[in-house]
Amino acid sequence: MSSLLDLLLAPLSYAFMTRGLLAAAMVGIVCAIVGTYVVLRGMAFFGDALSHTILPGVAVGYLLNGGARGPLFWWSLITAILASIGIGAISRGGRFKEDTAIGIIFAGMFALGIALISTVRSYAVDLSHFLFGNVLGVSGNDLWLIAAFGGLVILVMLGLYKEFMVLSFDPVLAATLRLPVGFLNYLLLVLIAITIVVSLQTVGVALMVAMLVTPAATAYLVARRLPAMMALAATIGAASGIVGLYISYYVQVASGAAIVLVCTAIFAITFALSPRRSQLWRNR
């Protein structure tokens, strides 16, 4: 018994591990709650693309301020918000399908980011941190930023809970009730953008979509109501972050990948065991 406790406590003697665990848990919660709408509204591709579009912002911040974390955060945030509004505006005109608009902006911005970063000699290392995250490099200041912006996102989601629910379930009702449909749609895009920036350091761009989609999708298999789905997704997200980081500590694998693999494993088990959502259940 005491050896199990040792196993759990040993990594905590390193400050960077404690900070990493806190960051991973907070990110898991915020991503999962926002991810509930990403899953219900079929926005997975948008989430994936948006995380990639942040690259030029990171690159500019990097070129101007060197490795300093603080400015990097703000540059990413501005880029992500601009990209999400840009995608919203292009697809809104109705001339393209939304996924086409997303594809154009996503690839263009990502290429711009790579071009900018490649002007720096040591770009391979920095790019890999950006792509796959570096949760053990989280500073105390980063933790405060995650807590403040993550908390803000959750507060807005809870405050506008019923509006977002109606908008997602029945946009026509939202319109006939005279809710500000356009504003709420943009607001959701911006909330996803903030969530992605806050989470960037934990899992990185390439695996971001898993944090948004997988815990929420797992909860969707089990939960029958939206609040339950959100609570369950948040629990799964936080647990995956913590368990994944412990695994990466003991097994020596990349932390972002370990976190995502834990998420995926939870999903696979739930999917196999859940009678709900299976074809049988639907046709009953």
Partner 1 sequence: MTVLEVAGLTVIYNGEAAIEDITFSLRRGERAALVGPNGAGKSTLLAAIAGLQQPTRGRITICGGQAQSGCIAYIPQRNRVDWSFPVNIADVVMMGRIGRYGLLRWPRPSDWEYVHQALQVVGMHGLAKRQIGELSGGQQQRVFIARALAQEAQLMLMDEPLTGLDIPSQEDVLRTLDTLRERQVTVLVATHDLDQAAERFDSVLLLNHKQIGFGPPTEVFTPERLAEAYGGHLHIIAGNGRISVVGDTCCGGGEERQDV
Instruction: Catalog residues that contact partner 1 under the rule CB under 8 A.
Output: 40, 159-160, 162-163, 165-166, 168-170, 172-173, 175-179, 220, 223-226, 228-229, 277, 282, 284
Residue number, 37 or 149, with CB nearest to partner 1: 37
Residue number, 63 or 177, with CB nearest to partner 1: 177
Integer Cα distance of 214 and 230 in angstroms? 12
Residue 39 beta carbon to partner 1: minimum distance, rounded to whole angstroms: 10
Tokens of 236: 């799964």
Residue 98 beta carbon to partner 1: minimum distance, rounded to whole angstroms: 17
Q: Exposed, middle or buried, 275 (CB in 10 Å: 0-12/13-18/19+)?
A: exposed
Integer Cα distance of 132 and 129 in angstroms? 5
Integer Cα distance of 119 and 36 in angstroms? 39
Residue number, 136 or 226, with CB nearest to partner 1: 226
Residue number, 112 or 152, with CB nearest to partner 1: 152
Integer Cα distance of 40 and 45 in angstroms? 13
Residue number, 97 or 170, with CB nearest to partner 1: 170
Residue 67 beta carbon to partner 1: minimum distance, rounded to whole angstroms: 41
Residue 33 beta carbon to partner 1: minimum distance, rounded to whole angstroms: 14
Helix 181-222 crosses helix 226-251 at what angle (to 10 degrees)?
70
Helices (H), the chain: 2-9, 15-40, 44-53, 55-65, 69-92, 98-117, 123-132, 140-159, 161-169, 171-176, 181-222, 226-251, 255-273, 279-282
Residue number, 181 or 247, with CB nearest to partner 1: 181
Tokens of 31: 């991503």
